[in-house]
Structure 1
Amino acid sequence: MSCALFFRLFMFLALIAPSLGNRLGLTSRLRFSRFLDPSNVVFLRWDIDLKAEIITFELQVRTAGWVGLGIKNRYTNVGSDLVVGGVLPDGNVYFSDQHLVDDDTLEEDRSQDAELQGLTEDAGYTTMRFSRPFRSCDPHDLDITSDTVRVLAAFGLDDTLKLDRERTFVKSIFLLQVVHPDDLDYPEDTIIHDLEITEFLIPEDDTTYACTFLPLPIVNKKHHIYKFEPKLIYHNETMVHHILVYACGNASVLPKGISDCYGADPAFSLCSQVIVGWAVGGTSYQFPDDVGISIGTPLDPQWIRLEIHYSNFHNLPGVYDSSGIRVYYSSQLRKYDMGVLQLGFFTFPIHFIPPGAESFMSYGLCKTDKFEEMNGVPFPDIQVYGYLLHTHLAGRALQAVQYRNGTQLRTICKDDSYDFNLQETRDLPSRVEIKPGDELLVECHYQTLDRDSMTFGGPSTINEMCLVFLFYYPRNNISSCMGYPDIIYVAHELGEEASDSMEGIMAINNVEWTPESIKKAEKACKEAQQMVIIKTIDEVVENTTGWIPDITPPPRGPCLESSGGKVEPQDKTPAGFRAAPMALSGSSIATLKRLPLATFLLVQGTLSWLLAMLQPGN
């Protein structure tokens, strides 16, 4: 009897052993990391498998309680998905894929789409590592896309699964990064050079654009700049909105000193070809190993315009700043010289966005058929490898779409969840070829429910912009290609009289804005003829016209069928689904099996009974 019971106990333990305190090693390196809270208590590591469409997270929190990580939408926590786990006092682990049914209540998903790779608690930290598909077939799981993702993290001081706002954090992150700086070459002969404003007294104004002209590093042969990063003064970093470095044509006659970029002296707005740029939330950026900014040859610019946008909303007096851009350059040459092409809506004076708009779209068209003529030499196909998106506070989404021979070819880049506080240079997953004659369209999505007056395009943060900067090679002389609608046509469609552009924009300011008139204005702006302005590095300007083509949204790919729980028929999306790979995480580590807390109690009770039966006399 005892032998039979012992054998059954052994088999039972073999079956449930992975569920009872099995600690998996967290060994493979995850390339990306970020603190998610101001106190640096919640630390996230992650990595992606683009081919399998799987992302792996590792959350480490200074707590002995439960931890949770998930995704939320822009406006509310309700509907957010949250993967939770922890280690019980007896060493057993619990782990579950859940979602928020309201601000405080969690409910377990019917389909468990997160695969646990490890859960440990030691040295005052709880560490949870798991993987999940970019897009699962569970409607409670939010997709992970190339958009900005609002990552939700939470934890408790014990194993009672209850949300506390003081221990819940949201951080905007671009998760689908394809390049890490550690994966790139760092030349041994690297030289560092700072392009900066020195001891500039920031005016007591809401918005200031300060510009100065500086020489690029003086070298006796060709070098390549391969990396840049912002140089910010600690107490002033919240006042610096963006920093741009523009290459100057060598024929330019440049003013001296520091002045308003767009003020009384128009010379301070010379030089319009962006070569590097930083904006709120960005960090350093290193170019791919085969491209760089060429300096030191007769064809290269010798001077740059440094532009710093200050937002002194508290009108603080006596604040001095020495911010700028630090560049890294080397004599080890790359294969290609890179350039930057600025696209979007020509900012001033035509751009407008009505107040009280739930949604309003603006469009800026670029036609490249004049590029070769303006370039001065044959215009080669260009390869786009990175991008920077830019709007101000009303911006909600942006995209740049490519057309060839009247047919939509692809979406070059987009962000349907744009965050003003996270503006960074991003790499494309694969390079995009643009040929002469292609059309490029930028669409910007705005929301102004919190505004009761018109928002105009302009330099201030409370004004708006709609810009996309494409990083490409090989370099050419075109600096920008931007569009705006025929404002006279728009005014007439809204029932206003106007005979020129200034009258048109003044007339539009008199419109009584309702949901109907907002949609009418949006439709008129899209149907109006676009005026396209093309500019070269030497300030040569050409105009052309065109029409806004329709944008066909790309189809969503298939979702990934759960391997951790049953997918009900109603959970399968219209785009279809595909079976999960054998190992969802792509790891060689066996997946930890987990049981609900009630099952743990049942298991423990059963074990106690079996052990009692094995005692002598039973």
Structure 2
Amino acid sequence: MMSHPCMKSLLFLLSTLCLCSSHSASRPMRFSAYLDPLQQFHLQWDHDSKEMITFELHVQSTGWVAFGFTTHGELPGGDVVIGGVLPDGNMYFSDWHIVDEETIVEDESQDYQLLSMTEDKTSTTITFRRYFQTCDAHDQPITGDTLRVISGFGPDDTIDFFKGKLIKRSLFFLLYLDEAHLNTPSVYHIYDLKLDDFAIPEDDTTYACTFIPLPRVKTKHHIYKFEAVITPRNETMVHHILVYACGNASVLPTGVSDCYGAEPEFSLCSQIVVGWAVGGGSYMFPDETGISIGTPRDPQWIRLEVHYSNFDLIPDLIDNSGIRLYYTPELRPYDMGVLQTGLYTFPIHFLPPGVESFNSYGLCNTSQFDELNGTPVPDMNVFGYLLHTHLAGRGVRGVQYRDGKQLRILCEDNKYDFNLQETRGLKEVVTLKTGDEFLVECRYQTLDRTSLTFGGPSTLNEMCLAFLFYYPRNNISSCMGYPSIQYVAQELGQTAADAMEGMMAINLVDWDNETAKKAEKACKEVDQVVILKTIDEVVVNETGFIRDIIDTEPAPCKNIFNNDPTSEPEMQARYQAATTSNALDPKATLPFPTSLFVHLGFTWLLTFSLFVV
């Protein structure tokens, strides 16, 4: 194995040649995305029950192309494949990892399998595959988390990776349903819920609310799809859009006002119908369900909430953003609902400053669901979810318990990205029964902050929420918990007679890692108050406590050419061996006669890779 030296820029030509025919993926790929604003990188992908994922990358370049993953968006630790077609028609393709901002090293274990590669006068298309979890410590695992993708290309086949055009983007790969495989009704209508010529204030945070009727229909219809409609050039201003159903007995104001300001009537209606946040796209519900409109039981009005973040205080911005609904008379079997869970946002939620990791918890105890609903609540079939924190959020997971025992981690994103908040479908429908507990845990990082962060509506405040999409619908709109802030203050050496004094008391704490851990422990061990609310704003309180979370065991790794799983100890041994054998010699030099190709020590044998399946 040839050790490649540290160089300010890696300059080499790949010379592994093959005389072979291409092998394409066997079926059309269900998912796709452009990786850059100029649409020079188009990615398609699909995955199967064997935890194999296949990619097809189409790049507007006839030079080298690269694709891979990074840990948090930074280059060091990145895992990439590099390939291309030489002028004589021969191909090169190899698996690499990025050591630092100047060094890239070829992997000893090659875990991406090339399926096909073509080039025309303007672009290159490469199809390849790998397992979710390879047995190479240098490969990033593909999980149910948000992944940071890196892609790049150069003008020709002389590879200078760090000087090529590199694009980074966050994507979620483990999608299970796409619109092409869902039932689009033969008859449908479109209806927009939006603001009309709203002047965005010169303020960092604005919550604008107004009340709008739902479509007037004489018979029952189902809303089966929604998408955000953002006013051009205001994309960076709109943080989220929520649609809340109002009880039909509600007395609603007119006009537009601050949702949570001096006019409390503009915060009426709390049952989420649909929601969109930064980075999200359109969402079509599964064929089994839709949002019912047109019956006496269905809401007739909604509250539209648009959150703006105008941090640069840009003047004279006019906005008409909102949510577009698609509805049809072709009915589905079930009416759906949305349950809001997590940590009751304010004023109890807080985060210490300057910490690498701090966990917050919000509990939903469903034991009073039947009483609050008025009739027994049918089993809730959860099919999708939307996770939500603000800028300090690094991870969110929702955990289901029954009879005091953990059933499953129902939803999670351990690499949460504020800029990619989207409704995601579950692989399988999960049943939530009355009496179950549902815990939301949010992990934060506040290394860039010198003072406490409190829960609240501003992007600079924090939230910890999980919205569960389910069927059949019931009357419960939200189920959220919070800890006793007085207890937390007392555990930190302060005194507090009530919640307000508790919030003031923790402001007096001298925060460091030790006190942050004490606060986290106190928030977890104290009983939570659980607030349940219906569409008609009926509120009851419940209690509960935070149970331990049992982490999911990682799946065994797989080798692309040998399907025998590898255990965790074996993986650790491989990692230690890899970090030792791939140590780079900073004093080494790489001679590069410009008339010769540099042969790589472990580049793929393309003939082999194209014919082994």
| Same fold, judged at TM 0.5 (above) | yes
| 1:397 matched residue in structure 2 | 395
The alignment's TM-score, normalised by the length of structure 1, stands at: 0.89
Question: Is residue 138–residue 567 contact of structure 1 (8 Å, CA) maintained in 2?
Answer: no
Distance 2:331 2:460 in 1: 42
Question: Is residue 48–residue 54 contact of structure 1 (8 Å, CA) maintained in 2?
Answer: yes
| 1:202 matched residue in structure 2 | 200
What is the number of residues matched between the two proteins? 567
Distance 2:563 2:64 in 1: 22
Pick the structure with greater CA Rg. Answer: 1
* Cα deviation 1:555-599 (Å, max 9, x = unaligned): 1111112318999999932799xxxxxxxxxxxxxxxxxx99469
Report the CA distance between 1:19 and its aligned residue: 2.4
* Cα deviation 1:272-328 (Å, max 9, x = unaligned): 000100000001100001100000000100110000001111112221111111100
Q: Which amino acid aligns with 1:35?
A: Y
Distance 2:325 2:482 in 1: 34
Question: Is residue 393–residue 416 contact of structure 2 (8 Å, CA) maintained in 1?
Answer: yes
SS of equivalent to 1:234: coil
Unaligned runs of 5+ in 1: 1-16, 577-594, 604-618
| 1:45 matched residue in structure 2 | 44
Question: Is residue 111–residue 564 contact of structure 1 (8 Å, CA) maintained in 2?
Answer: no
State which of 271, 274, 278 in structure 1 corresponds to 2:272: 274
State which of 289, 298, 303 in structure 1 corresponds to 2:287: 289
Q: Which amino acid aligns with 2:254?
A: K
| 1:302 matched residue in structure 2 | 300
SS of equivalent to 2:372: helix
| 1:409 matched residue in structure 2 | 407
| 1:112 matched residue in structure 2 | 110
SS of equivalent to 1:573: helix
| 2:186 matched residue in structure 1 | 188
1:524 aligns with 2:504: no
Report the CA distance between 1:27 and its aligned residue: 6.9
SS of equivalent to 1:59: strand
Distance 2:601 2:488 in 1: 66
Question: Is residue 156–residue 164 contact of structure 1 (8 Å, CA) maintained in 2?
Answer: no
* Cα deviation 1:503-554 (Å, max 9, x = unaligned): 0011001111111111111111111111110000000000111111000101
Distance 2:566 2:343 in 1: 46
SS of equivalent to 2:508: coil
Report the CA distance between 1:161 and its aligned residue: 2.6
**Aligned Cα RMSD in Å?**
2.3
Distance 1:228 1:31 in 2: 20
Q: Which amino acid aligns with 1:47?
A: D
Q: Which amino acid aligns with 1:225?
A: I
Unaligned runs of 5+ in 2: 1-15, 575-596, 606-613
Matches within 5 A, 1:348-359: 348-359=346-357
Question: Is residue 342–residue 481 contact of structure 1 (8 Å, CA) maintained in 2?
Answer: yes
Report the CA distance between 1:38 and its aligned residue: 2.5
* Cα deviation 1:314-343 (Å, max 9, x = unaligned): 112221111111100000000000000000
* Cα deviation 1:436-478 (Å, max 9, x = unaligned): 1000000000000001111000000000000000000000000
Question: Is residue 338–residue 477 contact of structure 2 (8 Å, CA) maintained in 1?
Answer: yes
Q: Which amino acid aligns with 2:107?
A: D
| 1:615 matched residue in structure 2 | none
1:129 aligns with 2:102: no
Distance 2:361 2:340 in 1: 14
Report the CA distance between 1:18 and its aligned residue: 9.4
SS of equivalent to 1:264: coil
Distance 1:158 1:370 in 2: 66
SS of equivalent to 1:521: helix
- Going from structure 1 to structure 2, the CA distance change for 1:551 and 1:568 (only over 3 Å counts) comes to closer
| 2:463 matched residue in structure 1 | 465
Distance 2:568 2:181 in 1: 43
* Cα deviation 1:197-221 (Å, max 9, x = unaligned): 1011111111110001111101111
SS of equivalent to 1:201: strand
Q: Which amino acid aligns with 1:475?
A: R
The alignment's TM-score, normalised by the length of structure 2, stands at: 0.89
1:493 aligns with 2:465: no
1:246 aligns with 2:268: no
* Cα deviation 1:42-100 (Å, max 9, x = unaligned): 21111111x11011011111112111111110153212111111111211111111111
State which of 54, 58, 61 in structure 2 corresponds to 1:60: 58
| 1:332 matched residue in structure 2 | 330
Question: Is residue 104–residue 162 contact of structure 1 (8 Å, CA) maintained in 2?
Answer: no
| 2:445 matched residue in structure 1 | 447
Deviates further, 289-298 or 29-38: 29-38
Question: Is residue 274–residue 340 contact of structure 1 (8 Å, CA) maintained in 2?
Answer: yes
Question: Is residue 195–residue 214 contact of structure 1 (8 Å, CA) maintained in 2?
Answer: yes
Q: Which amino acid aligns with 2:283?
A: Y
Report the CA distance between 1:151 and its aligned residue: 1.1
Q: Which amino acid aligns with 1:164?
A: F
Q: Calculate percent identity across the aligned residue pairs.
A: 59
Deviates further, 554-563 or 452-461: 554-563
Distance 1:123 1:258 in 2: 54
- Going from structure 1 to structure 2, the CA distance change for 1:400 and 1:570 (only over 3 Å counts) comes to closer
SS of equivalent to 2:160: coil
Distance 2:464 2:116 in 1: 44
Distance 2:398 2:498 in 1: 29
Matches within 5 A, 1:81-96: 81-96=79-94
Question: Is residue 112–residue 565 contact of structure 1 (8 Å, CA) maintained in 2?
Answer: no
Q: Which amino acid aligns with 1:247?
A: A
Q: Which amino acid aligns with 2:36?
A: D
Matches within 5 A, 1:548-563: 548-563=546-561
1:475 aligns with 2:473: yes
State which of 311, 314, 317 in structure 2 corresponds to 1:313: 311
Question: Is residue 115–residue 564 contact of structure 1 (8 Å, CA) maintained in 2?
Answer: no
| 2:76 matched residue in structure 1 | 78
Q: Which amino acid aligns with 1:264?
A: A
Distance 2:565 2:368 in 1: 54
Distance 2:76 2:286 in 1: 40
Question: Is residue 558–residue 564 contact of structure 2 (8 Å, CA) maintained in 1?
Answer: no
- Going from structure 1 to structure 2, the CA distance change for 1:244 and 1:233 (only over 3 Å counts) comes to same
SS of equivalent to 2:428: strand
- Going from structure 1 to structure 2, the CA distance change for 1:566 and 1:256 (only over 3 Å counts) comes to closer
- Going from structure 1 to structure 2, the CA distance change for 1:520 and 1:414 (only over 3 Å counts) comes to same
Q: Which amino acid aligns with 2:291?
A: I
| 1:504 matched residue in structure 2 | 502
Report the CA distance between 1:414 and its aligned residue: 0.2
State which of 228, 231, 234 in structure 2 corresponds to 1:230: 228
1:36 aligns with 2:35: yes
| 1:322 matched residue in structure 2 | 320
Distance 1:439 1:600 in 2: 52
- Going from structure 1 to structure 2, the CA distance change for 1:165 and 1:345 (only over 3 Å counts) comes to farther
SS of equivalent to 1:19: coil
* Cα deviation 1:342-375 (Å, max 9, x = unaligned): 0000001000001101000000001000000000
* Cα deviation 1:374-431 (Å, max 9, x = unaligned): 0001111110000000000000000000000110110110000000000000000001
| 1:436 matched residue in structure 2 | 434
